[in-house]
Amino acid sequence: MLFDPRILILCGANTLLFYLTQLVNSSLAAWSLHLVLLGPMIVIPALYLHRNNFMICASLTGLWVDAALPTPFGLFTISFLCIGTFLLMTRVRFRTEHNYHLILLAHAINFICIVLITVAMSGDQLAFIGFWIQLLTTSLLSHLALLFIAPWFFNVERLLFEICRVDPEPEDLPFV
């Protein structure tokens, strides 16, 4: 198929998750808390889409996140493409029927995104203990929220596939 409608569904779901995360972050700003929930955005596209369609979806999602967050431009576009390419190469090993493997992948990708933000934005703040306390608080809060949000998000994406009557299975998945 020339254009896969799942790209629009997944980019729209990623936009919704990112928008809701930013709304929560704006309300948590008074307590100096911040959520990083970027992990689930790349899991379903990497495991369900054809590689060319995945590159389009990851690029659009990465550009959207890069435009909204105060990080060096291209950080998340390049990292989403690299992480997703690794998932594309190993996607035969993951079970996508249930949320268990997907949640573990989302946590791993979220941790990588937190490390990327830390490396890109920390500068000379690494010597301060307050920086490490804030980083630990952000990481714990993000991963605790991800325990509840990731299954909901994956089920919403699957529900959108059913509502739009598209087949969620990838065309190029090898059969064993």
Reported as a single tens digit per residue, the pLDDT across 84-132 is 999 988 887 887 777 888 999 999 999 999 999 999 987 788 788 989 9
* Residue ranges of domains in the chain: 5-163
Of 66, 26, 46, 18, the C-alpha closest to 109 is: 46
CA atoms in the 13 A half-sphere facing the CB of 27: 5
Q: Do 60 and 11 meet the contact criterion of CB atoms below 8 Å apart?
A: yes
Helices 75-90 & 100-121 angle (0-180, nearest 10): 150
Give 21-33 pLDDT, tens digit per residue: 999 999 999 999 9
Least confident of 40-49, 52-61, 85-94: 85-94
Of 111, 92, 99, the C-alpha closest to 39 is: 111
Global pTM? 0.90
Mean pLDDT of the residues in the chain: 90
